[in-house]
Structure formats: structure tokens, C-alpha cells
Chains A and B, each alone.
Chain A
Amino acid sequence: MENQKFKYDNKIVKLFILATLVWGVVGILVGVVIASQLAFPVLNFGLEFTTFGRVRPVHTNAIIFAFVGNAIFAGVYYSMQKLLKTRMFSDKLSYFNFWGWQIIIVLAAVTLLAGFTTGKEYAELEWPIDILITLVWVAFGWNMIGTLIIRRVQHIYAAIWWYLATFIGIAILHVVNSFELPISLFKSYSIYAGVQDAVVQWWYGHNAVAFFLTTPFLGLMYYYLPKAANRPIYSYKLSIIHFWSLIFLYMWAGPHHLLYQALPDWAQALGVTFSIMLIAPSWGGMINGLLTLRGAWDRVRDSAALKFLVVAVTAYGMSTFEGPMMSLKTVNQITHFTDWTIAHVHIGGMGWNGGIVFGMLYWLVPQLFKTKLYSEKLANIHFWMSTLAILIYAIPLYWAAVTQWLMWKDYNAEGFLTYPNFLETLVQIVPMYTVRIISGVLFLGGFLVMLFNLSKTMAAGKFVNDEASSAPALVPAGARNPLRETIHRWMERKAVRFSIWVFIALFIGGAVEIIPMIFIKSNVPTLDSVTPYTPLELEGRDLYVSEGCYVCHSQMVRPFRWETDRYGEYSKIGEFVYDHPYQWGSRRTGPDLGRAGVIGGPMYKNAAWHYNHFMDPQKMNEQSIMPNYAWLAVKNINLSKTPAKIKAMQSMGVPYEDGYSEKAVDDLMEQARTISDDLKLSGIEIEPQKQMIAMIAYMHKLGKDISNESFAKVELHSESIAADPQKKEVKLLKDQADLDAGKKLFDTHCVVCHGPEGKGIGIFPDLTDNEWITGNSPAQVFKSISDGNVSKGMVPYKTQLTEEQITQLTSYILITLQKK
């Protein structure tokens, strides 16, 4: 057999490695910045481009798509050529892949900071970038399949199946999830609404984890672990079985991100079942990796590369056990909306993805540069820094998650929430956020040590761009008539046929889950009382999306007593039919806003409160960690796009009357003027076309349409006191213990509007003077607290406090503050 000469393309591998290193530093650094912002809100700098809501997506996208993405390409481009004994199919495609990907990353960072976002987690990029991603991704897949066709070995080694599954999986997910209707170059609406958008998004979100952070990395594990240990993989048969089970099962598991939420029960049950089933193939992979090292564990002692790979596989095993456990409904009510999820993904990200990338680089860079690693000792230092960082990250956040959950659901003996003020539960865990910064700095430090070590290695070595090699040509098995190549014959070629099988396996899960959700009407019961957004509310909603408010605030009240007592009526599927995109959120760093517009509900705040709060949250409450949004009072709503937005909504089935887009701007201004007039009464001068007005309008829309039901609930608690407040005798409590209790209640509930000394903030009245509109006799104060003043933004506290507590509070106000 003839020995063919060819050259490996090492240069493309080197380029991707360099990109991995650069974006790794950037991604981790941004992570440290946002971690610090949560502990020290002053680091938001009061600029719109540097607020947490905008920077956090930069961190997630930089780590997932820039750092991990480039590492995948580096690993794939090296191992594919070696495994198939050929150069990549097309140099042009390789370099298009490289430069295209880097351009996407830069565009992503710029647009996200500028506030151009679709508002769907891990798919935030706007439509022109989505198209670019599709092109680059197709180039990558085309190049891979082309390389498979020109290969010089018969069998396709296991690692490559995973690469192929990655290509096909991400292609399906990206295309389906990115259907959006463009309004302008930088603004589009998801064509899905509400629950459908949520299902598609989490089908994507979960499988982005699967096909971007799992399958390519299993492929890398199957190549680089045997190479680094110089031993064959433990069981090749196991690799075949766990490959097919894993790619088939993953696609079904998405709804486990939406448990207890406004999603049909059958979809939730389906997600849970398949998540549990996923343990089997995931652990198949872990066991295969670890057993590869049987009898060779002494080598792990000497090699930092192997140490990283072992920790990676172990972290994979832990995450893939933890994940299914978190999919159980009982566990999920703890882990969802708390920091548990954040800790979980960082064990996966820092341990599994980081570990494989670091292990791969410590082995691959010396290989490519034909030299030894500059310092094994430094690599070991990096290993310990990085492993320690994972622990310092995860443990405080698990602690924070459980603490916050226990506080959310704690009831006192009288049957009221012990911590009705959300902020109390957050203040408790902020110290954990400080500890997390240490972890980030440690991880970044380790990364920099690696950077130094690898650059020294590169400088010492000799790099060959095109490395000469030779291999016998592949005689295609069972070649029939090469002159009559039909489509059928083409399909029969192993590589292509294999890809199609993978596609089918992936497609079944996706189709079964999504198609019924989108098309079956009875899945989305509509509520008659729910009306489309007014133009002003719609503009406010777009601002909410663009500022990334969903990063910290959910809009999904789960059907637990401790959530309905805190926020109001639980969320229904039918509420969200006009939400393009849905904004349910996945983490509550701040309180849920789904009921922020329910007048008389526990979450309602009036326009003046919102104005003051956006301008300076820390003035309203010293301990708040929310960034300020002062520019909302300066910047104008872009009215030129409003008619186009209304038209886009109409074409997606939102029932505005015909020709409404013509009137939209007038309606918008009219509604805006009512809000600015309302603010004027409170002494706040602001022009109606400012963004602040739209934001307030949107806040007051949230949950408003179903608020009638909530009113009934508010009344329920209060019969005993409300019966006849005038007759009720209120005796002030003069004991120091009662006054202290009253002060504590005041600090929790009242300082936000009345200030720490009760002198009032802005329009909110001074409690220390004698000018009380509703009177300041004990009975009158008691009544003011228990009934609130809903139109002015004061919550009726009888739904949150006991009679004794209200009496203590009254005593504190009248005795301590008024000095009576």
C-alpha cells in the first residue's frame, strides 16, 4: 500500500490555544469583578456600562463561548488530525472558524455592555451575531465532516463521535432558540412567548451545558486522558453505550429548570424523569475515565496534567450526580433561585471544564513545541491554587443557599413570615459573597501562573507550523462502483451516515418536548383579564431586558405559602402570553417582581418610591446591593422605534387593534404624563419622555392584570383587626424590651421610606413632627401601620406583622421618635 505524505496543521491549534489563554484571563477577571460588585455595590461605578446586570452576561459568555469555546477548537483541531491521520479538510474553513469566532467574541462583549441583549440566558446575543455564529459553526462542522471523509484510518475513534455530536447538537439548539423578529439592527423579539419561550430557552440552556460543556469535553477526555497517561481507555464498549444513551437522554431534561413554575405538570415530570436517568450515562463516562488510570495512579503523583484531568473527571461525576438530585422537586425548591445553582455550575465550570482544559494544555503545549514543560513545580502550584479555589467557591455558596432558603420560608409563632423583608435574607449572605472574591482571585492567580509557565515553555521550544507526516491511504471498505456515486451511496459513507444517526437521536428528544408545547393550545390557558402591554409599558419592558434586570430579579412566584405570603398570588401560565421574551429569571439576588404592580399587595411601591430607589438604592436602604440607575432619569425613550415594535408584536399575534402603531406614540405620551404628574405631586420634576417613566410604568404593570384575586387574599388575614379599628384601644408599651423590638421592626420595614431617624426621605413623611395627616394618637398610628396607604405606596402591614408587633412599632414611633 502506498504511503501518502501530508502535513499536520499545527498553526491553527496554536492560534486557538493562544485565544484560550487570552479569553481565559478576561473571562475570569470579569468574574472577579462581578463577584466584587455583589459584595460591594459601589463597584458598579454608577455607569450604565458597568452595572452587574450588563457585566454578568459578559462573564458567562466569555467563559462558556470564548474561553471554553476556543479550548474546544484547539483540542478538536489537534486530536482530529492525529486520530484521522490527515490535515484538516480545508485551511480556509479552519481560519474562517478561528477569526470568525474571535470577531463574535469581541462583538459579544461590546454589544452586551452596550445593553443590546435578547434577555435569554446564555443566548443573549442579538440577531446579527446569531447569524454570524451560525455561519462559523457550520464552517466548523463542514470542516470536521470533510476531514472525516478524507481520513486515512478505517475506524472513527470515540473522541470524534463526541465532537460530531457537539456540532450537531449546538446547531439544532442555536437555530431553534434564536428565532427572533428583528426591529432594528440591535433589537429583536423572541418569536416565542411566555411559557413557550421558557421551555425553548431552557431546552437550549440545559443542552448548551450538554453539548458545549459536556460532549466536547468527554471527547477531549477520551483523547487527552489516554495520551497523558499513555494507557488505552478502560473500556471502549462502555464508551459506545454511554455515548448513545447520553446524547439521546440529554435533550429531554430541559424542563427541570422550570419546576414549580408556570409549566404544565406533564412537562415537569418528563424533565425530572430524564434528569434522573442521565446519572447512568454520565457516570459511565466518569468511571471510564477514572478506571483508565487503574494501575497507573503513581503517574498522577508526578504529573500536574494528570492531576488536573483526575480532578476534572471527579468534578464531572459530582456535578452529574448533583444535577439530577437538583432536578427532584423537593430539592429543587431549595436550589432554584438561590446560590446553590451558582455553586453547582462553578464546580462544573472550574472543576470539569477548567480541569480538562488545564490538563490538556499542560500536555499539549510541550508536545506542539517539542520540548518539556518549563516547570512542573509551577504547574503543581497552579493545580493546588485552582483546586482550593473551587472549594472556597462552592462551600460558602452552598451555605448561603441553604441559609437564604431557610430564612425565606421561616414562619414565626403567629404564622407570619419571620423575615418578610427580602433584604434581611440577602444581608445575611453577603459575607459569603466576600469569601467568593477570594476564590476568584485565587483561581485567576493560578491561571496567571499557568500563563507564565506555558509562555516560558513556548519560548524554549521549537514550533513547526506544518508538521510533515505520512500514512497509508485508506481503502474504503466495501467500495462498490465509484463511477456511479449516488446520494444513496454518499449517505452510506460512514462519516456522513454517522452524523445523521446522531442528528436523529438528538432530534427525537427535542421534538417530543418542544413541538407539543408550541402547538397544543390547551397547554397555555389564557386569562381574560390579561391585556397586552401599553406602548409605554412595552418600552419599559425593553429597558428591563436591556439592563439585565432578570439577572437578579425573577418574575415567577412559585405556589408555596412562603412565596405567596411574601410576593402575592402565584404565577399562572396565562399571564405571560404577551411576553416576548419571557423574563422569569433564574436567581433571586433581589426580590421577585412578578407582583410589583399589584396595588395593595406586599410588593407594590408607588412611583415616587421607584424614582428614589432607581436614583440611589442605598439611600433608601443602606444595605441594599442594587446598582443605581440614575441615567434612567436623563435618557429619553426612543420613540422612533415604538410603532415598529407594536407592528412586530401584532405580527406575533398580540391583539392590538388594527392600525394601533399609528396611535402608539400618542398613547405612550399620554400615559407617561399621568406618571410624571403623579411624581410632580410628590415634588419630583421629570419630563414624561424619560426612560425612568417607562420603567415605572412597567413595574406597575407586573401582576396588575390578575390583582383582583390578590385583593381578596389581603383582606383574609385582617378580619380580626380590621373589624372596627376606631373602637380598638391601643395601649403603648413602655418596656425597654418592647421598644427595642419596635426599633428592630422599624429598621426592617420602615427605614426604606421614612429614613433611619424617622425624618422621612423625599416625599415620605417625617414621623418625628406633629403634622400627621391621619393623626398621631396611638389608635390612629396603629391603624396607619396596619392598613397602610396603598395609593401612596405604603403596604398594609397587617398582612405581615402581628397585632403585638404593630403595637410595639407604634410605641417605638410615638415614644422614641416623637418623644411623647
Chain B
Amino acid sequence: MKIVSSLLESIEGIRIYYIIGLLIFVVLFIVILIRTIRMSNNKIDKIKKSILTDDDPGEIMTSN
């Protein structure tokens, strides 16, 4: 931890860490957004419906 603490002695230039952090978020967000939008709808539909087709009857059973 000594290395970290001597690197970060002063508040000067601290904004760089936030800019880096934010940049990582923005870049990742754009990448994930594009990749998600380009996923095939067919495949997505199959995943969505897959949870409804296990052994459970699914429908709610009521007594009245």
C-alpha cells in the first residue's frame, strides 16, 4: 500500500482517476449497447421463453 499512498499524496490531479473511471464506464456502456442491440432477436426470444418451459406448469393455481 506504500506505493499507492505515495502516488496519491495530494489532491492535485485527482480528477484524472474519475475521468478514467467514467471513461471506462462510457466505453463499456457503448460496447455493451451495440453488442446487445446487434444480438439476434431469434436467439433472444428462445432465451426469454426458455424459463417458461421447464417442468413447472407455470400457471397460477388457485382454489376459488
Is residue A83 contacting chain B, with contact meaning CB distance below 8 A? yes
Task: Indicate with 1 or 0, residue by residue over B2-18, a CB within 8 angstroms of chain A CB atoms.
Answer: 00110011110011011
Q: How far is the CA of A375 from the CA of B31 in the complex (A)?
A: 49
Q: Chain B contacts of A505 at CB under 8 A?
A: 28
Apart from A155-B47, A264-B11, list 5 A-B contacts with CB within 8 A.
A153-B50, A157-B51, A232-B48, A237-B44, A241-B32
Residues of A358-402 contacting chain B, CB below 8 A: 363, 366-367, 371-377
Task: Indicate with 1 or 0, residue by residue over A256-277, a CB within 8 angstroms of chain B CB atoms.
Answer: 0000000010100010000000
CB of B49 to closest CB in A, whole Å = 5
Residues of B22-46 contacting chain A, CB below 8 A: 24-25, 28-29, 32-33, 36-37, 39, 44-45
Q: Is the beta-carbon distance between B60 and A157 smaller than 8 angstroms?
A: no
Q: Chain B contacts of A375 at CB under 8 A?
A: 63-64
Partner of A508, one of B24, B59, B64: B24
Q: Is the beta-carbon distance between B48 and A228 smaller than 8 angstroms?
A: no
Q: Chain B contacts of A522 at CB under 8 A?
A: 9-11
Q: Is the beta-carbon distance between A519 and B28 smaller than 8 angstroms?
A: no
Q: Chain A contacts of B14 at CB under 8 A?
A: 266, 516, 520
User: 4 closest pairs, A vs B, by CB?
Assistant: A232-B48, A372-B61, A512-B21, A519-B5
Partner of B61, one of A155, A264, A371, A512: A371
Q: Is the beta-carbon distance between A509 and B33 smaller than 8 angstroms?
A: no
Q: Chain A contacts of B56 at CB under 8 A?
A: 82, 227, 367
Residue of A nearest to B15 (CB): A266
Q: Chain A contacts of B51 at CB under 8 A?
A: 82-83, 157, 159, 223, 226-227, 232
Interface of A (DSSP majority class): helix
Q: Is the beta-carbon distance between A373 and B61 smaller than 8 angstroms?
A: yes
Is residue A111 contacting chain B, with contact meaning CB distance below 8 A? no
CB of A340 to closest CB in B, whole Å = 29
Q: How far is the CA of A159 from the CA of B14 in the complex (A)?
A: 37
CB of B16 to closest CB in A, whole Å = 11
Q: Chain A contacts of B45 at CB under 8 A?
A: 232
Is residue A85 contacting chain B, with contact meaning CB distance below 8 A? yes
CB of B15 to closest CB in A, whole Å = 8
Can you identify 29 A-B contacts, CB atoms within 8 angstroms?
A82-B51, A82-B54, A85-B54, A157-B47, A223-B51, A226-B51, A226-B52, A230-B58, A232-B51, A237-B36, A241-B36, A245-B29, A248-B29, A252-B21, A264-B11, A266-B14, A363-B60, A372-B63, A373-B61, A373-B62, A509-B21, A512-B17, A512-B20, A515-B8, A516-B8, A516-B14, A516-B17, A519-B5, A522-B11
Q: Chain A contacts of B10 at CB under 8 A?
A: 520-522
CB of B23 to closest CB in A, whole Å = 10
Given A237-B37, A508-B24; A376-B63 close (CB under 8 Å): yes
Interface residue tally on A, bucketed by range? 35 or more
Q: How far is the CA of A241 from the CA of B35 in the complex (A)?
A: 10
Partner of A240, one of B1, B11, B32, B54: B32
Q: Chain A contacts of B61 at CB under 8 A?
A: 366, 371-373
Q: How far is the CA of A248 from the CA of B26 in the complex (A)?
A: 10
Q: Is the beta-carbon distance between B62 and A521 smaller than 8 angstroms?
A: no
Residues of A288-309 contacting chain B, CB below 8 A: 299, 302-303, 305-306
Q: How far is the CA of A236 from the CA of B8 in the complex (A)?
A: 42
Q: How many residues of B contact A (CB 8 A)?
A: 40
Is residue A718 contacting chain B, with contact meaning CB distance below 8 A? no
Q: How far is the CA of A199 from the CA of B58 in the complex (A)?
A: 45
Q: How far is the CA of A653 from the CA of B1 in the complex (A)?
A: 16
Q: How far is the CA of A125 from the CA of B5 in the complex (A)?
A: 30
CB of A376 to closest CB in B, whole Å = 5
Q: Chain A contacts of B21 at CB under 8 A?
A: 252, 508-509, 512
CB of B21 to closest CB in A, whole Å = 4
Residue of A nearest to B62 (CB): A376
Q: Is the beta-carbon distance between A236 and B9 smaller than 8 angstroms?
A: no
CB of A545 to closest CB in B, whole Å = 27
Is residue A708 contacting chain B, with contact meaning CB distance below 8 A? no
Is residue A244 contacting chain B, with contact meaning CB distance below 8 A? yes
Q: Is the beta-carbon distance between A244 and B47 smaller than 8 angstroms?
A: no
Residue of B nearest to A302 (CB): B62
Q: Is the beta-carbon distance between B49 and A373 smaller than 8 angstroms?
A: no
Residue of B nearest to A504 (CB): B24
Q: How far is the CA of A377 from the CA of B36 in the complex (A)?
A: 43
Q: Chain B contacts of A50 at CB under 8 A?
A: none
Is residue A671 contacting chain B, with contact meaning CB distance below 8 A? no
Partner of B4, one of A237, A519, A523: A519
Q: How far is the CA of A241 from the CA of B37 in the complex (A)?
A: 10
Q: How far is the CA of A516 from the CA of B61 in the complex (A)?
A: 55
Residue of A nearest to B14 (CB): A516
Q: How far is the CA of A366 from the CA of B37 in the complex (A)?
A: 38
Is residue A469 contacting chain B, with contact meaning CB distance below 8 A? yes
Partner of A233, one of B39, B48, B55, B62: B48
Partner of B18, one of A299, A512, A519: A512
Q: Chain B contacts of A302 at CB under 8 A?
A: 60, 62
Given A230-B52, A240-B36, A519-B4; A303-B62 close (CB under 8 Å): yes
Q: Is the beta-carbon distance between B25 and A236 smaller than 8 angstroms?
A: no
Partner of A244, one of B18, B28, B44, B50: B28
Residues of A493-531 contacting chain B, CB below 8 A: 505, 508-509, 512, 515-516, 519-523
Q: Chain B contacts of A157 at CB under 8 A?
A: 47, 50-51
CB of B6 to closest CB in A, whole Å = 9
Q: Chain B contacts of A159 at CB under 8 A?
A: 51
Q: Is the beta-carbon distance between A244 and B64 smaller than 8 angstroms?
A: no
Q: Chain A contacts of B44 at CB under 8 A?
A: 236-237
Residue of B nearest to A156 (CB): B47
CB of A84 to closest CB in B, whole Å = 10
Residues of A150-180 contacting chain B, CB below 8 A: 153, 155, 157, 159
Residue of B nearest to A521 (CB): B9
Q: Chain B contacts of A241 at CB under 8 A?
A: 29, 32-33, 36
Q: Chain B contacts of A508 at CB under 8 A?
A: 21, 24-25
CB of A218 to closest CB in B, whole Å = 15
Q: How far is the CA of A227 from the CA of B55 in the complex (A)?
A: 12
Q: Is the beta-carbon distance between A236 and B64 smaller than 8 angstroms?
A: no
Q: How far is the CA of A223 from the CA of B39 in the complex (A)?
A: 21
Q: Chain B contacts of A83 at CB under 8 A?
A: 51, 54
Task: Indicate with 1 or 0, residue by residue over A437-451, a CB within 8 angstroms of chain B CB atoms.
Answer: 000000000000000
Q: How far is the CA of A523 from the CA of B5 in the complex (A)?
A: 13
Q: Chain B contacts of A266 at CB under 8 A?
A: 11, 14-15
Given A516-B8, A520-B10; A374-B63 close (CB under 8 Å): yes
CB of A273 to closest CB in B, whole Å = 9
